[in-house]
Amino acid sequence: MTSIVALFGDPVASNPTSQMHNAAFRGAGLDWVYVDIRVPAEALPDAVSAARTLGFAGLNLTIPHKVAVVPLLDVLEASAEITGAVNTVKRETDGRLVGLNTDGLGFLRALIDVGINPAGATVVLLGAGGAARAVAVELALAGAAAVVVANRSAPHCEQLVALLRRRTRVRAEGMLWAGRLTPPRCDLLVNCTPIGMGTGATAAALPPVDIESLAAGTVVCDLNPDRAESAFVRAARARGLAAYGGLPMLARQGAAGYEAWTGLPAPLDLMVKALEDAAGPNRQAG
Query: In the chain, what are the domain boundaries?
Result: 3-102+248-279, 104-247
Are residues 3 and 28 in contact, defined by beta-carbon separation less than 8 angstroms?
no
Quick one: pLDDT at residue 35?
Answer: 97
pLDDT in tens, 190-222: 999 999 987 788 889 999 999 999 999 999 999
Average pLDDT over residues 7-18: 88
Which residues are the active-site residues?
66
Average pLDDT over residues 157-168: 95
Asked whether the predicted pLDDT for residue 70 surpasses 80, the reply is yes
Q: What percent of the chain has pLDDT over 70?
A: 97
Distance CA 8, CA 68 (A): 12
Asked whether the predicted pLDDT for residue 169 surpasses 80, the reply is yes
One-letter amino acid of 95: G
Architecture of domain 3-102+248-279: 3-Layer(aba) Sandwich (3.40)
3-102+248-279 and 104-247: identical CATH topology: yes
Distance CA 279, CA 130 (A): 24
Confidence at 280, pLDDT banded by 50, 70, 90 = low
Quick one: pLDDT at residue 238?
Answer: 97
Contacts of 53 (CB under 8 A, 6+ apart): none
Confidence at 226, pLDDT banded by 50, 70, 90 = confident
CA 82 to chain centre: 16
Return the CATH fold of 104-247. Rossmann fold (3.40.50)
Quick one: pLDDT at residue 243?
Answer: 97
pLDDT in tens, 232-258: 999 999 999 999 998 888 899 999 999
